[in-house]
C-alpha cells in the first residue's frame, strides 16, 4: 500500500470530484471542509420544517462524464428532473424546461454519490498551508494538524485559493485574474401558496433581483409551508454587502412583491444568507491550476465556467495533474 497522502480542501462538487478521482489510485486522500455539510454552493438550509436551496438552484449535464455521474445520482435517488414553469422578465415560457436537474431532497444531495467512501473531515477550516521538508502541513482554527501531506488540492473559491496558495509559487498569481461576484439570498416560507405567483421560477435581467423560485415545486421537497428562494443581482449585492441579514431579507422580499405586482402575506419564516463569492464573472480560462514542483493545485467552476459541471470537470483535471507530482499513475487501482 502506498504511503502517499493527499489533502483536498473543500467539499463542494469540485473538491469531491477531485478526491473521488484521486481515491481510485493507491493513495490516502482526506477531504477537509469548513462547513458541517457537503456540497459548497450546491447548498440546502433546513430550519425546522423548512428547506431552502439557498445556493445553486439547478444544474445541467452535457459532457459524457458528468452525464454518467448524474445518471448514477438519479438511480440512487440523490437527483431528479425539475420541470418548472418559468417567467423571464415579462416573458412566460409556454413549455416547462426539461433539462434541469436538482438534488433530492435538497441540492446538497447531488454530491452524495461522490462523497461515498471518502474520508471527509467536516467543520475544519484550513487557515494556512505550510510547506516543510516532509511535505504540506495544515494550520486550522483548531491548531496545526499532525502529520504532513505529499500533495494538496484546494477546491474553494478563487480568492480563498489565492490566500492559501499565493505564498507558495508564481503559478498561483494568476488567481488574481479571476472575477467573482457576491449574492444575497432570501429564504421565505409562507403558510399557503402565493396566489400572485403564476410560475415556479422567475428570472430577471435587470433590477435588484436575479432569481426567485418556489423550492416546494422541486421533486422530493417536504410538504407543508411553501418555501421560496430569492437571489439578488450581483450589483445589488455589492452595494449591500455589509448590510444586516434580516434587513436584506425584508428588502428583497419587498422587491419580489413589487415584481409580482401584488402584496405578499407575512412569511412564517424569513432569513437571508450572504455568498461573498457566488458567481463567476471572469473565469481563469484553464481546466485547473497546478504547480507540479510543489505538488499543489487549485480547481473550481471559476476555472472555466459558472456551472456545476465545470466544477466537476475541474476537480477531475486537477486530480490527473497532481498524480505525476507524487509518482502515481492515473490508472485505477483494483480493490
Is residue 333 scored above 50 in pLDDT?
A: no
Largest CA distance in the chain: 65
Q: Provide the domain count of the chain.
A: 2
The grid coordinates listed for 34 are: 469548513
Domain boundaries, position 154: 5-34+123-177+283-326
Q: pTM (2 decimals)?
A: 0.94
- Read off the pLDDT of each residue in 85-92 and give the average, rounded to a whole number: 85
Q: 132 with 236, same domain?
A: no
Using pLDDT thresholds of 50, 70 and 90, give the confidence band for residue 329.
confident
30/152 same-domain check: yes
**68 and 30, same domain (yes or no):** no
The answer to whether the beta carbons of residues 296 and 154 sit under 8 Å apart is yes
Please check whether residues 131 and 274 belong to one and the same domain.
Answer: no
Contacts of 223 (CB under 8 A, 6+ apart): none
Q: Give the single-character DSSP code of 153.
A: E
* Residue 192 falls inside a structural domain: yes
Task: Identify whether 332 is part of a domain.
Answer: no
Pair 35, 126: CB distance under 8 Å:
no
Q: pLDDT tens for residues 229-278?
A: 999 999 999 999 999 999 999 999 999 999 999 999 999 999 999 999 99
- For β-strands 126-132 and 119-122, DSSP reports them as unpaired
Residue 213: inside a domain? yes
Average of per-residue pLDDT across 53-74: 96
- Please tell me whether residues 288 and 270 are part of one structural domain: no
Name the 3-class secondary structure at 214.
strand
Whether residues 146 and 275 fall in one domain:
no
Q: Where are the alpha helices (DSSP H) in 130-201?
A: 158-165
Tell me: do 222 and 271 sit in the same domain.
yes
- CATH classification at residue 186: 3.90.660.10
pLDDT given at position 327 = 87
- What is the pLDDT, as a whole number, of residue 97? 72
CATH number at residue 145: 3.50.50.60
**Domain for residue 251, yes or no?**
yes
Residues 221 and 262 in one domain: yes
Average the pLDDT over each of 61-70, 82-91, 151-160, 226-235 and give the range with the smallest value: 82-91
Give 171's DSSP letter. G
Q: Is residue 49 part of a domain?
A: no
| Cα distance between the two ends of the chain | 11
Q: Is the pLDDT of residue 95 over 70?
A: no
Q: Is residue 194 part of a domain?
A: yes
Residues 313 and 274 both lie in one domain: no
Q: If you average pLDDT over residues 113-134, what whole number do you get?
A: 96
Report whether 299 contacts 156 (CB < 8 A): no
What pLDDT band is residue 334 in, cutting at 50, 70 and 90? Answer: very low
The answer to whether position 265 is within a domain reads yes
Q: Which residue has the cell 495533474?
A: 321
The reply to whether 187 and 89 lie within a common domain is yes
CA dihedral 65, 67, 70, 75 (to 10 degrees): -110
> In this structure, what C-alpha cell is assigned to residue 133?
521538508
pLDDT at 223 over 90: no
Q: What is the pLDDT of residues 187-197, one digit of tens each?
A: 999 999 999 89
The reply to whether 152 and 225 lie within a common domain is no
Residue 96: what pLDDT?
A: 66
CB atoms within 10 A of CB 291: 18
Tell me: do 294 and 173 sit in the same domain: yes
- Asked if residue 40 belongs to a domain, the reply is no
Q: What is the pLDDT of residue 2?
A: 63
C-alpha cell at 136: 504540506
Q: How far apart are CA 20 and CA 23, in angstroms?
A: 5
Residue range 7-24: mean pLDDT, rounded: 97
The reported pLDDT for the residue numbered 94 is 63
DSSP 100-134: EEEESSSGGGGGHHHHTT-EEEES--EEEEEEETT
Amino acid at each position: 500500500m502506498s504511503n502517499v497522502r493527499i489533502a483536498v480542501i473543500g467539499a463542494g462538487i469540485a473538491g469531491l470530484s477531485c478526491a473521488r478521482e484521486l481515491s481510485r489510485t493507491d493513495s490516502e486522500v482526506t477531504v477537509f471542509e469548513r462547513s458541517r455539510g457537503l456540497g459548497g454552493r450546491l447548498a440546502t438550509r433546513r430550519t425546522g420544517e423548512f428547506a431552502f436551496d439557498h445556493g445553486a438552484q439547478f444544474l445541467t449535464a452535457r459532457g459524457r462524464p458528468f452525464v454518467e455521474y448524474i445518471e448514477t445520482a438519479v438511480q440512487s435517488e440523490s437527483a431528479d428532473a425539475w420541470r418548472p414553469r418559468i417567467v423571464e422578465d415579462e416573458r412566460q415560457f409556454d413549455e416547462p424546461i426539461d433539462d434541469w436537474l436538482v438534488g433530492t431532497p435538497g441540492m446538497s444531495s447531488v454530491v452524495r454519490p461522490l462523497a461515498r467512501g471518502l474520508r471527509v473531515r467536516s467543520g475544519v477550516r484550513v487557515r494556512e498551508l505550510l510547506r516543510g521538508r516532509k511535505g504540506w502541513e495544515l494550520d486550522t482554527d483548531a491548531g496545526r494538524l499532525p502529520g504532513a501531506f505529499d500533495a494538496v488540492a484546494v477546491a474553494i473559491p478563487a480568492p480563498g485559493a489565492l490566500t492559501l496558495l499565493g505564498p507558495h509559487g508564481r503559478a498561483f498569481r494568476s488567481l488574481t485574474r479571476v472575477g467573482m461576484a457576491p449574492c444575497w439570498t432570501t429564504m421565505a416560507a409562507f403558510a399557503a401558496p402565493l396566489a400572485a405567483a403564476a410560475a415556479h421560477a422567475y428570472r430577471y435581467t435587470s433590477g435588484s433581483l436575479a432569481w426567485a423560485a418556489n423550492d416546494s415545486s422541486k421533486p422530493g421537497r417536504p410538504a407543508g409551508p411553501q418555501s421560496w428562494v430569492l437571489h439578488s443581482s450581483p450589483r445589488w449585492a455589492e452595494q449591500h454587502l455589509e448590510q444586516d441579514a434580516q434587513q436584506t431579507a425584508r428588502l428583497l422580499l419587498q422587491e419580489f412583491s413589487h415584481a409580482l405586482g401584488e402584496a405578499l402575506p407575512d412569511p412564517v419564516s424569513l432569513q437571508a444568507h450572504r455568498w461573498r463569492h457566488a458567481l463567476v464573472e471572469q473565469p481563469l480560462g484553464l481546466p485547473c491550476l497546478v504547480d507540479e514542483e510543489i505538488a499543489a493545485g487549485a480547481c473550481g467552476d471559476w476555472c472555466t465556467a459558472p456551472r456545476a459541471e465545470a466544477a466537476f470537470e475541474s476537480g477531475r483535471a486537477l486530480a490527473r495533474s497532481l498524480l505525476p507530482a507524487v509518482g502515481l499513475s492515473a490508472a485505477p487501482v483494483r480493490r
